[in-house]
Amino acid sequence: MISNKKINPLLKSSIIYIVATIIGQGMTFLGIIVFTRLMDQNDYGLYSTYYAYVSVVTVLIGANLHYALNNAYIDKKNRIKEFRKSVLCLSFVIMILSSVVVLLAGKILLNEFPVFIIVMLLLHSYGFFVINYRMYSANMENDYKRKQWLLILPYAFQLIIPILFMLFLSQTSFEIRVLGSTVGVCGIAVLLFIEMMRYKGKLIDINDWKYALSIALPSVVMSISYMLMQQCDKVMITNICGSSDTAVYSVIYYLGYAIIAVDQAVAPVRQAWIYQKLDEQDVHEAGNIQKWYLVVIAILTTGLIMAGPEVVKIIAPSSYWQFEYIVPFVVSACMMMLYRFYTEITLFYKKNMILSMCVCVCAIINIILNAVLIPRAGAVAACYTTVVSYFLLFILTGIVSGKCMKHIYSKKVFLCFILWISGVSVLSYTVYETMWIRYIVYGSLLMIILIYTYVKRSEWKGGIWKK
């Protein structure tokens, strides 16, 4: 019999987030399947470059003001809608000022794009900010239905609207896809903007603006650095090797980072649980989740490496089949996931500034390595520079988190996971040519993981499985 008790708000929110994230990422992969076949490869690469700029400019143009909502719902809960309205007005002012700077510098920094595309870039980026701003608010209000749709609709509209534009205009160019994606995102953003601005209250409240900026601005450096680590490789490949290479790189990038989509989907559940254990000083329980989580990721990652060539053949035409990209992308995704274990600890202990410095240093190293190696080895070099950068970030954040609280996560477990992924990666290069051998190898590796987990089950008892 089903209990009449209400579902825990955190659990309900987490389930909705997981489902909505999976649907959204599914639409991203569907978009790869559709647009790699509709668009010319060069145009697809240009759009990937454009979208990389959108990711960075979204942080700049909105100054991470949505971060202030988390604190405001506690400090200003009696007038939160007025605060939200005033800070949204501030974001519009920052957007105008940022747009002037970007347009003036556009010919230097964005020389591969005409003015029309730069304008679309600014509108697209601000549209994403408004959506994120409203989603943060919905999250604090436990508005599950709104949060669910805000996680899905931007992906849906960026898929459907460009396709409709291409069909009606009989064009499949880069410009048409940019126009369609921008219209889709901005359409949602305009409705949300109107909704949030209709409440009574001052448009300009200097105290609210100071409060919001004091919380948001310190995080901008970290966010931009993190986005640069993720996106600068696409921009540099386009400028050095050409947009056709960027297209191939981007397609397999999304395949390799499918493991991150899984991590992002379950992150709210894991982070909330870890924070609870850290607050209780329950180090043993916090460590147990590390072991179970990495076992699951090891299984998924091994499968992705071994089945990678077939997946690429399904999602993209033959001109995109450059399988040498797969392994380093999957490995760098694993490094990204590992560093997030330590990030959660540093954020819990409010070491935001040190964390920002770590990300900034690794972003600079990534850019330097790309500048040196891409001209010599081509786009594939960017795969390996990403692995190096995220591994370094994992080491640095591990050192910082160790200063906060020691012995939360087992270094031995992390080492075993890294050695396992490294071994599978090396092994994959010897069996990639023959599909049936790869699957036999994967089946054998899967059995090893399952047997090991079964043997260790009593030692790892507790954690998320504890009754």
Angle (deg, nearest 10), helices 352-377 and 380-404: 160
Which residues fall within 8 angstroms of residue 447, CB to CB, at 6 or more apart?
none
**pLDDT at position 151, please?**
83
At 200-258, the pLDDT tens digits run 777 888 888 898 888 888 888 888 888 888 888 898 999 888 889 999 888 888 887 77
Q: Are 28 and 254 in contact (CB under 8 A)?
A: yes
Distance (Å, whole) CA 22 – CA 15: 11
Distance (Å, whole) CA 191 – CA 209: 23
Q: Are 52 and 235 in contact (CB under 8 A)?
A: yes
Which residues fall within 8 angstroms of residue 332, CB to CB, at 6 or more apart?
256, 383, 386, 387, 389, 390
Structure tokens at 459: 């030692």
- Say which range, 258-262, 297-301, 363-367, has the weakest mean pLDDT: 258-262
For 244-312, the DSSP string reads HHHHHHHHHHHHHTHHHHHHHHHHHHHHHHHHHHHHTT-HHHHHHHHHHHHHHHHHHHHHHHHHHHHHH
Residue 72: how many CB atoms within 10 A of its CB?
22
> pTM of this prediction?
0.86
At 75-122, the pLDDT tens digits run 777 788 888 899 999 999 999 988 888 777 765 666 667 888 889 999
Sign of CA dihedral 197, 198, 201, 204: positive
Percentages helix, strand, coil for the chain (3-state, rounded to 5) are 85, 0, 15
At 311-339, the pLDDT tens digits run 888 888 888 888 777 888 888 888 888 88
Q: Would the pLDDT of 49 be above 50?
A: yes
Mean per-residue pLDDT for 3-17?
57
Average pLDDT of the chain to the nearest whole number: 83
